[in-house]
A and B are shown apart, each in its own frame.
Chain A
């Protein structure tokens, strides 16, 4: 490679970008200086993180035999809420749909999620803002979120739900409240939340009537009393201190713990929050499972893991590490049509590109999903989009079964950490499985 020279031919030091002040960093500094406000966006962490891609399954070998791919059964069903609830949830697949609100999503998108999940035999979940009749109508199994804001919270909807999810936090912003900016607070959304139309909604980050785990136990007791102990009660936490949060959720009386890693999406929050608070999904699972095992509650209190679940391989890996089920949000939206290249010209007009669009809070989604604009919303056919989601859920389930059979498992829940190895030292340490080709689990065993 030729030396770098100036126009007069004098040798010069080649222009060198800083590894600290990268072009992206400098661009953000200039944006902040120009606008005076932090960047707000949707979705989850975008930085490279240790993830399920850093794990591999060990297929069957001489010591273990596989199951026939198309002839021998590999079960996928899961029961959630068997600890205390009179009416636990029974799902055909362990892939559930994570909480997303009407308000952050269009009514058509919520309907599509309900349709797709119902075809696939799984559940959907409400979000910050209450339950819509359309959502209840199209979701055979609906989990109702109980959030700090209590927007739209009423006991009738609580009783209509199939399960209740007490939201402590979410992976994109553990310690942060919901956010829905004025562009999406239409008359209907405002009415459901008792807010003035057009106001920037910044939800509370703490529940208004309880603080610590002792209070949470009493709160869960109230929810059980109000619903006559019928409904499974989930407790959702953003992944930060998964061992203690899981243990405290169990202590508080949860039937199910939902653990959301930092790749989990949000409708809107500060980029600095998304990228710098919380821990990766991969790092959160084993401590949570350990807490359940230490309490003798593994499989009795079910664990749902979310945050960056994209394929059946991710499902299988999460379950092998000890989860009972997973939840998908961002992947479900992509299946509906989010960030589809067919809308590239419009993404370009918004200053972005298909695959990178995350200004969900602005309500201008060309795909008609993260918007309340009636014209944009019409672009999403809820039946067609629901079918696409059902297809995606079927593929994820089939992929997980494919891996499980290869590992000789007759049910997805029979997958175990011993089926896994890691490609990197980081992943080996976080997932507590050996580095591939060794018996080394960093922090656990020697070489």
Chain B
């Protein structure tokens, strides 16, 4: 169980060591001490390991993650788990803007709030935020799901493609082409599966959520829709 102290060794050494791990490594649990807001901690991992970070991380923590579980015992800066392909990233505090941006897969769980543009251009990731998210979240979101137990800020889902949005609290406003859609049994089942995957089965009732998706009116440009932009 390697322990890495970023006060005494450079970030480059940590990431290099993590990148060097093979899929059958026995070093499956790493602890990182004194992150102190450093950027790109545990970025680019590609092994079935767990990295537990004791403190606050800066930008792009666990960026482009594959396979690994990255646990942040603190707040996360901009772009946590950006472009994640697979794996699990758990922020046990708040996350700054662009959490899970452009990510293709995996699960991003945020215990606190997420800032603006949460899930921007998401391409398949599942994001679960236990509290609230900021404005312009799920902007141009293409695929995946965004589940928010709290409230959503302005312009949720602007220019949305096929991502599925579920919000339990209030939505300040919807962005262009994002509409509320009926919550049917199939959607409650889907949401339950997402909540269960995040360890929230039984804690939250899927019936309390509203569903939002694309009206698909902007998929093909038409001059009559120009006012939507």
Query: Residues of A with Cβ closer than 8 Å to B?
Result: 36-37, 149-150, 153-155, 158, 182, 194-196, 199-200, 202, 204, 208-210, 215, 218-219, 221-222, 225-229
Contact = CB atoms under 8 A, between A and B. Distances in A.
A322 B117 CA distance: 40
B120 A208 contact: yes
A196 B161 contact: yes
A150 B161 contact: no
7 contacts: A194-B124, A208-B82, A208-B102, A209-B59, A222-B39, A228-B15, A228-B19
Interface string B99-110: 001101000000
A310 B161 CA distance: 40
A155 B40 CA distance: 14
Given A154-B83, A199-B161, A222-B40, 17 more contacts: A36-B223, A37-B223, A149-B121, A150-B121, A153-B102, A154-B64, A155-B83, A199-B220, A208-B82, A208-B98, A209-B97, A209-B117, A210-B78, A218-B39, A218-B60, A222-B59, A226-B63
Contacts of A154: 64, 83, 85, 104
A195 B218 CA distance: 13
B16 interface: yes
A199 B15 CA distance: 39
A222 B39 CA distance: 7
A226 B44 contact: yes
Given A208-B101, A209-B78, A195 B66 contact: no
B30 to A, nearest CB: 16
Interface of B is mostly: loop
B79 A195 contact: no
B121 A204 contact: yes
A229 B102 contact: no
Nearest to B66: A155
B43 A226 contact: yes
Nearest to B41: A225
Contacts of B191: none
A219 B101 CA distance: 13
Interface of A is mostly: loop
A428 to B, nearest CB: 42
Which 9 A-B residue pairings sit nearest by Cβ, starting from the closest?
A: A226-B44, A209-B79, A36-B223, A150-B102, A209-B98, A222-B40, A155-B64, A194-B123, A208-B120
Contact of A200 (B60, B63, B220): B220
B39 A221 contact: yes
A225 B64 CA distance: 11
Interface string B187-205: 0000000000000000000
A195 B220 contact: no
B53 to A, nearest CB: 15
Contacts of B11: 225
A209 B95 CA distance: 13
Nearest to B221: A200
B46 interface: yes
A150 to B, nearest CB: 4
Interface string B125-160: 000000000000001101100000000000000000
A229 B78 contact: no
A153 B12 contact: no
A128 B108 CA distance: 26
B60 A209 contact: yes
Nearest to B143: A194
A277 B16 CA distance: 43
Contacts of B123: 150, 194
B12 A229 contact: yes
A35 B79 CA distance: 41
A219 B140 CA distance: 21
B82 A209 contact: yes
B162 A196 contact: yes
B84 to A, nearest CB: 10
A282 to B, nearest CB: 34
B175 interface: no
